[in-house]
Structure 1
């Protein structure tokens, strides 16, 4: 068997070496040494990392589509997405400047881009009475300035910013958790995005410990995992409540739409003649004699 694995085509060999390194490729692929625990863990970490990066490129697309189709960002917290975007951007720049393997942080690039888009959609679908265009421009410029600043500041200061991603992760989820709790609904929150983030954070804890060993980054993923689990629990608790409300509301709306204009426009007027000196005219059929006797 090793005769075959040691003579694989060059493009397969080069791809394997680029993913797991020459040492682990030789041990696991060429020599079929499945007792090499170190290389097995490293290979699993690489596989998970690549899967997370690929998944991160589409994980929030369902959230974008939900907002666009519904033309509403109901249930989504703007402060939560702004803080989450800042956290992703800091982690992305910190990992890039420290030359971590792309498979350990690449999803942050795609998550940052998708979060910027969702943030702008939330602003554009804000309630009436707000200057949506101005707010979108201000938010875009603010995020651009922030991204540029993180790319030029000294590395020690960037490391300090990376520490701030811990409270940023906390405060980015609390507004969304609180909003869900108050509304007893998750609105347009995407279940696919939340579940994917739970799995991604769990996998990232393993890949970070295996390939990077940065305690700050690991702590950030651990906190994000806990908070995403809370969001997942809320999705499970409030699942289907919006559908129930819509089913209850639709018949009432249909009843209103089917009511005749005369009935809809009718409002009983107060009886103004009780204290009036001159009573309203009455037809003979409805008691004109009675009124005559009363006046007499």
Structure 2
């Protein structure tokens, strides 16, 4: 068997060395030393890391499709996604500038882009239908400018400052999930929140705890992933509890004020007699020539000079 594994095509060997390194490739593939626990652990970490990066590139795509297809961001917290985007961006900059292996943080690159897009869509599609007539252009422009400036700032700040920001992502992760958790609890619904995204985040945090401890061992990153796992589990529990208990949006047409909608309601009375239900609809009050609605019970008479 080793005569085969030691004569694999060059592109297979180059790929294996690029993933697990020369030492572990020779030990596990060429010599088939499957008892090499250190290399097995390292290879598993690398495999999980690559899987997380690939999964992260599509993790929030279902959420984007849900918002764009429904043209609504109902149930999604703007503050939650804005803070989460900032946390992803800080972790991306911190890991890149410390020259960590891409397999240990690569998903943050894709998640940052996807989260920024979701945040902009939440601004573009307000959760309330009664406020959709307002222009979202200035808010979108401000959010885009803030994103660009933040990205440039994190690429030039000193590493010591970036390390402090990375520590700040621990409470930032906490505050980024709490608004979404509170909104779900308050509305008893998860709205347009994607179940695929929530489940993927739980699986990703579990895998990241293993890969970070195996390849980097950075306690700041480990603490951040542990906290994110806990809060993502809370979101997953809410998704399970409120599954199917969606809240329907109001059928009031766009741009209609609530007072106008209430004014158009016609009272009705109903009673049951001899097994039959009769419904009596009270006629609307007549409208005068001046456009004023006549109040019930008041008689109007034309004044004769």
Q: TM-score range by the shorter chain?
A: 0.7 to 0.9
Question: How far off its partner does 1:266 sit?
Answer: 3.1
* TM-score (norm. length: structure 1): 0.84
Q: Distance in 2 between matches of 1:76 and 1:167?
A: 20
Please tell me whether Structure 1 or Structure 2 has the larger radius of gyration of its CA atoms.
Answer: 1
Q: State the Cα deviation string for residues 62-95 of structure 1 (Å, max 9, x = none).
A: 0000000000000000000000000000000000
Match of 2:93 in 1: 93
Structure 1 pair 11–265 and aligned structure 2 pair: CA distance change class (3 A): farther
Mapping for residues 53-202 of structure 1, pairs under 5 Å: 53-126=53-126, 127-128=131-132, 130-202=134-206
SS of 2:132 mapped into structure 1: coil
Q: State the Cα deviation string for residues 80-117 of structure 1 (Å, max 9, x = none).
A: 00000000000000000000000000000000000010
| Structure 1 outlier segments of 4+, above 6 Å | none
Match of 1:281 in 2: none
Tell whether 2:246 aligns with 1:220. Answer: no
Question: How far off its partner does 1:143 sit?
Answer: 1.1
SS of 2:14 mapped into structure 1: helix
Match of 1:29 in 2: 29
* TM-score (norm. length: structure 2): 0.82
**Aligned residue pairs, count:** 261
Q: Distance in 1 between matches of 2:208 and 2:282?
A: 62
Match of 2:3 in 1: 3
Structure 1 pair 235–26 and aligned structure 2 pair: CA distance change class (3 A): same
In the alignment, structure 2 segments of 5+ residues that lack a partner are 252-264, 266-279, 286-294, 301-305
Structure 1 pair 270–39 and aligned structure 2 pair: CA distance change class (3 A): same
Larger helix percent: 1
Tell whether 2:274 aligns with 1:270. Answer: no
Q: Distance in 2 between matches of 1:55 and 1:124?
A: 27
Q: CA RMSD in A?
A: 2.2
SS of 2:108 mapped into structure 1: helix
Q: Distance in 2 between matches of 1:265 and 1:79?
A: 47
SS of 1:241 mapped into structure 2: coil
Structure 1 pair 264–197 and aligned structure 2 pair: CA distance change class (3 A): farther
| Worse-superposed segment, 182-191 or 123-132 | 123-132
Q: State the Cα deviation string for residues 199-237 of structure 1 (Å, max 9, x = none).
A: 000000000000000000010000000000000000001
Mapping for residues 14-53 of structure 1, pairs under 5 Å: 14-53=14-53
Q: Distance in 1 between matches of 2:42 and 2:66?
A: 37
